[in-house]
């Protein structure tokens, strides 16, 4: 703990408490152990294990304005602990990597793209990724950046890499659940001098660690399974290059897309249960996918954990857990709407990754190239047999 003159205040904020994080854990500690301890400061008598959120627009700052905490848009002690937690899970062995948290996944994505790319650069984006990417593409093009697109599956990005400055990968992709080979693409991109960013939203750091697979940035919406309760918007960037991360930090300062302290604290609190949630939700997602596979009225079923899924081989190489999202197509839009209405344990809502199952007819937004009857189902933490029964019953009822 700090013995500085500001020690009393530091104890409250956790700001100056030495952060041991996972350093004190035995090498090879399991992921559940790592998740519950991620980012925690050194224990201090009479202090909480996880210091509460620090609500501060500014900090006492006599004299020269030196950090770590000066102004609330630049830094916050609650972010510091969360950033350590995310970094420990995303890049446990990538010494020197840095993590920055943002107000949302889109804030994090924009921070990487708009801080790294300049007029005249070439960027490769997925053409089947998150539905806000076309908006990002239009903005990049408005700034004179050339955008090429490629589908996620089959490593089609290899064909459009020449001359690129940045390759953006989303794997598994949302909502189609295709997968690409991060290591292979990163090697090819690096050979051409391009940086590689991976949207790790769907997998979470417990599902895959892009930096270990060769990526330069892991970027994610923490709004989904990382926080997992459908009550927080958050994003993060983990990067291995100090200079590139300085530019991402500068972008955060300029754009001001910062998380509130309460959101940051809730996120950190939620990470303690990440392994339990991801394990449970992945196992149930597989059970749901297996049940759906038996249904003649279900087409285009995708779940990377299914042994016969087209993405399974690559996914099994680079993922440790296959995620909580299952996608499939019902014969018509009306049938899909009836199915969603018949579900009792699954809310008709967008987003994914929460402990309460959600599903939606993705075509209702108009942004994804999916059939009208396409359903994205996010499997929650309900008892697997209850959820499978609910899905099968809703399929039966909606068939009538």
Q: CB of 221 within 8 A of CB of 352?
A: no
CB of 255 to ligand PLP, least distance (A): 13
CB of 134 to ligand PLP, least distance (A): 13
User: How many residues make up the chain in this entry?
Assistant: 400
Two tokens at 66?
A: 């030196």
CA pair distance 91, 104, nearest whole angstrom: 20
Using CB under 6 A, list all residues that contact ligand PLP: 104-106, 109, 130, 170, 174, 199, 201-202, 221, 223, 233, 235, 351
CB of 37 to ligand PLP, least distance (A): 25
Nearer Cβ to ligand PLP (235/373): 235
CB of 351 to ligand PLP, least distance (A): 6
CA pair distance 353, 363, nearest whole angstrom: 19
Of all residues in this chain, which one has the CB nearest to ligand PLP in the complex?
105
Two tokens at 103?
A: 């107000």
Under DSSP, is residue 104 helix (H, G, I), strand (E, B) or coil? coil
Nearer Cβ to ligand PLP (41/235): 235
Two tokens at 31?
A: 């992921």
In eight-state DSSP terms, residue 355 is S
Nearer Cβ to ligand PLP (290/351): 351
Nearer Cβ to ligand PLP (59/352): 352
How far is residue 344 CA from its own chain's centroid?
Answer: 27
Nearer Cβ to ligand PLP (78/221): 221
Q: Which helix (H) or strand (E) holds 358?
A: strand 358-361
CB of 107 to ligand PLP, least distance (A): 7
Q: Which helix (H) or strand (E) holds 339?
A: helix 333-342
CB of 130 to ligand PLP, least distance (A): 4
**10 Å Cβ neighbour count for 55?**
12
Nearer Cβ to ligand PLP (219/245): 219
């Amino acid at each position: 703990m700090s013995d500085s003159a500001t020690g009393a205040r530091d104890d409250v904020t956790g700001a100056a408490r030495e952060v041991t994080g996972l350093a004190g854990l035995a090498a090879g500690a399991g992921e559940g152990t790592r998740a519950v301890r991620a980012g925690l400061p050194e224990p201090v008598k009479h202090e909480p294990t996880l210091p509460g959120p620090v609500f501060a627009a500014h900090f006492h700052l006599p004299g020269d304005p030196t950090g770590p905490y000066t102004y609330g848009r630049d830094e916050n002690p609650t972010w510091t602990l969360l950033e350590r937690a995310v970094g420990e899970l995303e890049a446990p062995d990538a010494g020197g990597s840095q993590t920055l948290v943002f107000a949302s996944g889109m804030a994090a994505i924009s921070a990487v793209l708009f801080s790294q790319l300049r007029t005249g650069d070439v960027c490769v984006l997925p053409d089947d990724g998150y539905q806000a990417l076309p908006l990002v593409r239009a903005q990049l093009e408005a700034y004179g950046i050339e955008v090429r697109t490629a589908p996620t599956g089959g490593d089609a990005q290899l064909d459009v890499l020449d001359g690129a400055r940045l390759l953006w990968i989303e794997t598994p992709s949302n909502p189609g659940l295709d997968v690409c080979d991060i290591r292979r693409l990163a090697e090819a991109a690096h050979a051409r001098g391009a940086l590689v960013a991976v949207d790790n939203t769907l997998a979470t750091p417990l599902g895959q660690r892009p930096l270990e697979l060769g990526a330069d940035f892991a970027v994610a919406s923490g709004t989904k399974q990382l926080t997992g309760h459908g009550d927080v918007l958050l994003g993060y960037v983990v990067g291995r290059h100090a200079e590139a991360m300085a530019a991402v930090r500068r972008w955060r300062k300029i754009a001001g897309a910062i998380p509130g302290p309460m959101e940051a604290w809730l996120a950190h609190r939620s990470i303690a249960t990440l392994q339990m949630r991801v394990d449970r939700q992945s196992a149930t997602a597989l059970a749901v996918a297996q049940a759906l596979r038996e249904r003649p009225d279900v087409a285009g079923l995708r779940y990377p954990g299914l042994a016969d899924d087209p993405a399974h081989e690559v996914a099994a190489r680079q993922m440790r857990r296959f995620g909580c999202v299952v996608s499939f197509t019902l014969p018509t839009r009306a049938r899909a709407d009836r199915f969603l209405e018949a579900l009792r344990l699954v809310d008709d809502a967008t987003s994914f990754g929460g402990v309460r199952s959600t599903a939606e007819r993705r075509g209702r937004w108009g942004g994804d190239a999916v059939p009208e009857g396409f359903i994205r189902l996010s499997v929650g933490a309900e008892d697997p047999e209850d959820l499978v029964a609910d899905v099968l019953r809703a399929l039966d009822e909606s068939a009538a």
